[in-house]
Amino acid sequence: MIKLYYAAHTCSLASHIALEDAGAEYFTERVSFETNEQNSPAYLAVNPKGRVPSLVTDRGVLTETPAMLAYIAQTFPHARLAPLDDAFAFAQVQAFNSYICSTLHVAHAHRMRGHRWADDESSFADMQRKVPQSVSACYALIEREMFRGPWVMGDAYTVCDPYLFTLAQWMEDDSVDVSRLPKVLDHRRRMSERPAVRKAIADELA
């Protein structure tokens, strides 16, 4: 059976929701960031990167949210979480998720994880000041150029939707002016009402 290692309030929620969407049989194990459990020997044996999420399958461990989301979509094809028979449309799904991962999430990470890329307190403060601008620019691009509606990819719900929803929960903490993002905001509201989303969040906060 599939096992998802997660931490609350992190991007692991996207894969958690996707597993619910897929109707997968799975269980979860929480990794405590409060006690730095992600860098414990036991967890590093699962994922030497010391990050969440990790997805343990019968074949081995998978990491990296875009890869895991595509894997969930491919492994549970009846759930129709990605256009699996159309390489171009699948690539559009993947391009969106790659942007979330490598640009939006990275911009966000400069608010609290500046130590990954710098050492001085003054640099961390500078990075934190820039986050509203850099994160807002990502959302402006999503709102204007990428989001089709009603779902990210248009009429079909895909694994892009839980990933956008997950990061969009952090907009206010990043001081993004959400009033300028009506599509992203409406999407977040509609996502929050889906039973799969409610169940995944309730599990993580239990």
**Interface residues with its own copies (CB under 8 A)?**
48-49, 57, 59-60, 62-68, 70-71, 74-75, 87-88, 90-92, 94-95, 97-99, 101-103, 105-107, 110, 116-120, 122-123, 126-127, 129-130, 134, 141, 144-145
Q: Measured from the CB of residue 105, what is the shortest distance to its own copies in angstroms? A: 7
Full DSSP string of the chain = -EEEEE-TTSTHHHHHHHHHHHT--EEEEE--TTTTGGGSHHHHHH-TT--S-EEEETTEEEE-HHHHHHHHHHHSGGG--S-TT-HHHHHHHHHHHHHIIIIIHHHHHTTT-GGGT---HHHHHHHHHHHHHHHHHHHHHIIIII--SSBTTBSS--THHHHHHHHHTTTTTTT--GGG-HHHHHHHHHHHTSHHHHHHHHHHH-
Cβ at position 195, least distance to its own copies in Å: 26
Query: Which CB, 56 or 197, lies closer to its own copies?
Result: 56
**Measured from the CB of residue 76, what is the shortest distance to its own copies in angstroms?**
10
Q: Which is nearer to its own copies, 128 or 169 (CB)?
A: 128
Query: Least distance from C-beta 123 to its own copies, angstroms?
Result: 4
